[in-house]
Amino acid sequence: MLMSALVRKVPKRLGELLGQEGIVEFVDFLNRAFGDSHSTAIEVVTDRFERRLSEESGKLRSEISELRVEFSNLRADIKSEVSEIHKAISLQTKWILGVMIGAIGIFSIIVKS
Protein backbone atom coordinates (compact mmCIF):
# COMPACT_ATOMS: atom_id res chain seq x y z
CA MET A 1 0.00 0.00 0.00
CA LEU A 2 1.44 3.36 -1.02
CA MET A 3 1.16 6.13 1.52
CA SER A 4 2.92 9.39 2.21
CA ALA A 5 5.60 9.52 4.86
CA LEU A 6 4.12 10.07 8.28
CA VAL A 7 7.41 11.18 9.84
CA ARG A 8 9.58 13.58 7.85
CA LYS A 9 11.93 15.06 10.44
CA VAL A 10 13.12 14.33 13.95
CA PRO A 11 13.81 16.64 16.89
CA LYS A 12 17.14 18.52 16.69
CA ARG A 13 18.69 16.87 19.76
CA LEU A 14 17.83 13.36 18.47
CA GLY A 15 19.21 14.32 15.07
CA GLU A 16 22.52 15.31 16.67
CA LEU A 17 22.71 11.93 18.45
CA LEU A 18 21.81 9.83 15.40
CA GLY A 19 23.70 11.70 12.73
CA GLN A 20 22.48 12.26 9.16
CA GLU A 21 22.50 8.58 8.17
CA GLY A 22 20.87 7.57 11.46
CA ILE A 23 18.11 10.14 10.96
CA VAL A 24 17.29 8.72 7.53
CA GLU A 25 17.22 5.14 8.87
CA PHE A 26 15.17 6.13 11.94
CA VAL A 27 12.62 8.06 9.85
CA ASP A 28 12.35 5.09 7.44
CA PHE A 29 11.90 2.74 10.41
CA LEU A 30 9.16 4.91 11.94
CA ASN A 31 7.36 5.25 8.61
CA ARG A 32 7.45 1.48 8.04
CA ALA A 33 6.25 0.83 11.60
CA PHE A 34 3.43 3.35 11.29
CA GLY A 35 2.56 1.98 7.85
CA ASP A 36 2.42 -1.57 9.20
CA SER A 37 0.35 -0.37 12.15
CA HIS A 38 -1.98 1.45 9.78
CA SER A 39 -2.35 -1.67 7.60
CA THR A 40 -3.00 -3.82 10.65
CA ALA A 41 -5.61 -1.37 11.94
CA ILE A 42 -7.37 -1.40 8.57
CA GLU A 43 -7.35 -5.22 8.55
CA VAL A 44 -8.79 -5.36 12.08
CA VAL A 45 -11.49 -2.82 11.28
CA THR A 46 -12.32 -4.64 8.03
CA ASP A 47 -12.56 -7.98 9.85
CA ARG A 48 -14.82 -6.46 12.51
CA PHE A 49 -17.00 -4.88 9.85
CA GLU A 50 -17.29 -8.15 7.91
CA ARG A 51 -18.14 -10.07 11.09
CA ARG A 52 -20.73 -7.49 12.12
CA LEU A 53 -22.19 -7.46 8.61
CA SER A 54 -22.47 -11.26 8.69
CA GLU A 55 -24.18 -11.15 12.09
CA GLU A 56 -26.64 -8.49 11.02
CA SER A 57 -27.43 -10.17 7.70
CA GLY A 58 -28.03 -13.41 9.62
CA LYS A 59 -30.42 -11.60 11.97
CA LEU A 60 -32.15 -10.04 8.98
CA ARG A 61 -32.57 -13.43 7.30
CA SER A 62 -34.00 -14.82 10.53
CA GLU A 63 -36.48 -11.96 10.84
CA ILE A 64 -37.54 -12.37 7.20
CA SER A 65 -38.06 -16.07 7.81
CA GLU A 66 -40.20 -15.30 10.87
CA LEU A 67 -42.25 -12.82 8.84
CA ARG A 68 -42.84 -15.44 6.15
CA VAL A 69 -44.16 -17.84 8.80
CA GLU A 70 -46.39 -15.10 10.23
CA PHE A 71 -47.76 -14.27 6.76
CA SER A 72 -48.40 -17.94 6.13
CA ASN A 73 -50.33 -18.18 9.39
CA LEU A 74 -52.29 -15.04 8.54
CA ARG A 75 -53.21 -16.48 5.13
CA ALA A 76 -54.47 -19.64 6.83
CA ASP A 77 -56.51 -17.54 9.28
CA ILE A 78 -57.99 -15.48 6.44
CA LYS A 79 -58.92 -18.64 4.52
CA SER A 80 -60.59 -20.00 7.64
CA GLU A 81 -62.53 -16.76 8.18
CA VAL A 82 -63.64 -16.67 4.51
CA SER A 83 -64.83 -20.27 4.85
CA GLU A 84 -66.83 -19.34 7.96
CA ILE A 85 -68.36 -16.37 6.12
CA HIS A 86 -69.39 -18.64 3.22
CA LYS A 87 -71.00 -21.08 5.66
CA ALA A 88 -72.89 -18.24 7.36
CA ILE A 89 -74.10 -16.87 4.01
CA SER A 90 -75.21 -20.36 2.93
CA LEU A 91 -77.13 -20.88 6.18
CA GLN A 92 -78.71 -17.45 5.92
CA THR A 93 -79.75 -18.11 2.30
CA LYS A 94 -81.36 -21.42 3.34
CA TRP A 95 -83.34 -19.66 6.09
CA ILE A 96 -84.46 -16.90 3.74
CA LEU A 97 -85.56 -19.48 1.15
CA GLY A 98 -87.40 -21.51 3.83
CA VAL A 99 -89.18 -18.41 5.16
CA MET A 100 -90.19 -17.36 1.63
CA ILE A 101 -91.57 -20.84 0.81
CA GLY A 102 -93.41 -20.87 4.15
CA ALA A 103 -94.78 -17.36 3.53
CA ILE A 104 -95.98 -18.36 0.05
CA GLY A 105 -97.70 -21.42 1.54
CA ILE A 106 -99.34 -19.39 4.30
CA PHE A 107 -100.29 -16.60 1.87
CA SER A 108 -101.87 -19.11 -0.54
CA ILE A 109 -103.89 -20.62 2.34
CA ILE A 110 -105.06 -17.16 3.41
CA VAL A 111 -105.99 -16.20 -0.16
CA LYS A 112 -108.04 -19.44 -0.67
CA SER A 113 -110.03 -18.89 2.46
The pLDDT value recorded for residue 16 is: 79
Do residues 27 and 10 make contact, with C-beta atoms less than 8 angstroms apart?
yes
**Cβ neighbours of residue 18 closer than 8 Å, sequence gap 6 or more:** 10, 25, 26
Average pLDDT over residues 82-89: 98
Q: pTM value? A: 0.52
Question: Could you tell me which of 57, 51, 49, 7 has the C-alpha nearest to residue 32?
Answer: 7
The pLDDT value recorded for residue 29 is: 86
Residue 1 has pLDDT above 60, yes or no: no
Question: Per-residue pLDDT tens for 16-61?
Answer: 788 888 888 888 888 888 877 788 888 999 999 999 999 999 999 9
**Cβ neighbours of residue 50 closer than 8 Å, sequence gap 6 or more:** none
Residue 82 has pLDDT above 50, yes or no: yes
DSSP 6: S
The pLDDT value recorded for residue 3 is: 52
Give the distance, in angstroms, between the CA of residue 53 and the centroid of all CA atoms in the same chain.
Answer: 11
Question: Per-residue pLDDT tens for 87-113?
Answer: 999 999 999 999 999 999 999 999 887
DSSP letters, 66-99, are: HHHHHHHHHHHHHHHHHHHHHHHHHHHHHHHHHH
Residue 10 has pLDDT above 80, yes or no: no
